[in-house]
Amino acid sequence: MKTIDIRSDTVTLPTDEMIDAIVAGHKERRFGDDVIGEDQIVIELEQKAAQILGKEEALLVTSGTQGNLISLFAQTNRGDEIVVEERSHTFLFEGGSMASMGGLYPKPVKGVRGYIQPETLLSAISPDNPHYARTTMVCFENTHNYAGGTITRPEQVKALAKVAHENELLVHCDGARLFNAAVALDVSAKDLVVEADTVMICLSKGLSAPVGSVIAGSEEFIHEARRVRKRLGGGLRQAGIIAAPGIVAIEKMVDRLREDHANAKLLYERLSKIPDLIVEEPDTNILFVMLDNMDISALKLSEELKKRDILVYGAYGTRTRFVLHRMVSRDDTLRVADVVEDILGVS
C-alpha cells in the first residue's frame, strides 16, 4: 500500500520536467561558476523571480532559512531589534540563528491568525533610548505556517508596512509559501509584497523543486546579500543544477497549488464532523487539528497513523498538522480521512 506522507510539503519530489531541465542545461553547456556570475541558468532564474515578485533583483540561496538570515543580516546591524510574530518560522524554527549568528534581538509579538496588526507593531517599537535595542525591522510570514497556513492579504501588508516605514523600519516577508497565498486569493505574488522591502520564496515546498530558495529586493540589497551569502558559506558553483528545476517550479507548478488547497478543504470537511475534534478551517494547504477533547495525544495519533502507512509529525501535546501537496491525491486525502475516523472511533 502507498505510504501517504503529509508531514510537510517539503517532501515533494521533483517532476520529470525538472530532471529533464537539469539534463538539458548540461547538454547545452549553460552551467557555470555562479560565484563569479557565470551560470546562465541561475541568472535566468533570478531575473524571472525578480520580475514575478516585482523587485529590482533576486538571488538564489540554498534554503528558506538561509534566505531569511541573509535578508536580515544584509540590512541590519548587530544589536538591532527585529519584530517577529510569536509563532513565526524566523523566531521558532531557525535555530535561534538571527541571535546566535547575527547578534540580532528578536522581539516576539502576538498576532491574529499569524498577522501582526499595525497597532501591535507600533506598540512594539522601542524608544530611541540607550536602554533599548534599536528596532529596525519587522518580519511577517505569508502564508503563516504555524497559524495554520493562514494568508496575509495585500491590504494587511500595506497597513503593516505603512506603520513600519513611517517609523523607519524595514519590512521583510518570509514568503516560503507565498504562492499558496497568491493562488488562494487569485492575485499575483507581487501584489502580496509590493509594500515589503525584501522577500524570500521557497522553491522546494509545494512547488516541488528539490532544493533552493530565492530572495528579492533592491539592487543595493542584493549587492550586499551576495556578500552575506558568501560569509555564510552559500557561494555556489555550477548552481544551474539547482536553478533549472527552480525555473520549472515558478513557471509550471504555481497554479496546481489549487489542488492542494482543495484537498485540504476536503479533509477539513470530513474531520470537522468528528465529535470533540477541533479542526481549524484551512486557508491554503495546511490543516491543524487539536485533540484537547480527545483521549489521545498527537504523538499517539501519529504512531497509529504510521501503522497504516500515513505519516504525520508526532509532536508532543494535542495539536498536530496535516500538509497537503503534489504527492497526495484526492483519493489519498479521502483515505487519510477514513483512517483518522477509524482511529478516533467514528462509526
What is the predicted pLDDT for the residue at 347? Answer: 59
pLDDT beyond 80 at 138:
yes
Check: CB of residue 197 under 8 Å from CB of residue 157. Answer: no
Give the whole-angstrom CA distance, residue 12 versus residue 328. 9
Return the percentage of the chain with pLDDT > 90, whole number.
Answer: 97
Hey, what long-range contacts does 222-229 have (CB within 8 A, 24 or more apart)? 222/56, 222/57, 222/58, 222/59, 224/74, 224/75, 225/59, 225/70, 225/71, 225/74, 226/59, 227/74, 228/69, 228/70, 228/73, 228/74, 229/59, 229/61, 229/66, 229/70
Local confidence band at 345 (pLDDT 50, 70, 90 cut-offs): confident
Say what percent of the chain tops pLDDT 70.
99
Q: Give yes or no for residue 317 having a pLDDT over 90.
A: no
Grid cell 479542526 is found at: 279
Cα 342 from Cα 331, distance rounded (Å)? 17
pLDDT of res. 201: 98
* Distance of alpha carbon 103 from alpha carbon 345, whole angstroms: 50
CATH number for 256-343: choose from 3.40.50.10470, 3.90.1150.10, 2.60.120.380, 3.90.850.10: 3.90.1150.10
Q: Residue ranges of the domains in the chain?
A: 16-252, 256-343
Q: Put residue 258 in one of left, alpha, beta given phi > 0 → left and psi -120 to 50 → alpha.
A: alpha
Measured distance CA(197)–CA(71) in Å, rounded: 10
Q: What is the dihedral of CA 193, 126, 146, 143, to 10 degrees?
A: -10
Domain 16-252: which CATH number of 3.40.50.720, 1.10.10.10, 3.40.640.10, 1.10.3720.10: 3.40.640.10
Sign of the alpha-carbon torsion through 181, 183, 187, 189: positive
Confidence of residue 316 (pLDDT cuts 50, 70, 90): low
Q: What is the overall mean pLDDT for the chain?
A: 96
Domains 16-252 and 256-343 share a fold: no
* pLDDT interval class at 1 (50, 70, 90): confident
| pLDDT band of 248, cuts 50, 70, 90 | very high
pLDDT at 232: 94
Which amino acid makes up residue 129?
Answer: N
> What digits encode the pLDDT tens for the residues 267-288?
999 999 999 999 999 999 999 9
**Which whole number is the average pLDDT over 145-164?**
97
Please enumerate in sequence order all residues whose Cβ is within 8 A of that of 50, keeping only pairs 6 or more positions apart, or say none.
56, 57, 58, 216
Burial class (CB in 10 A: 0-12, 13-18, 19+), 29: exposed
Q: Is the pLDDT of residue 315 over 80?
A: no
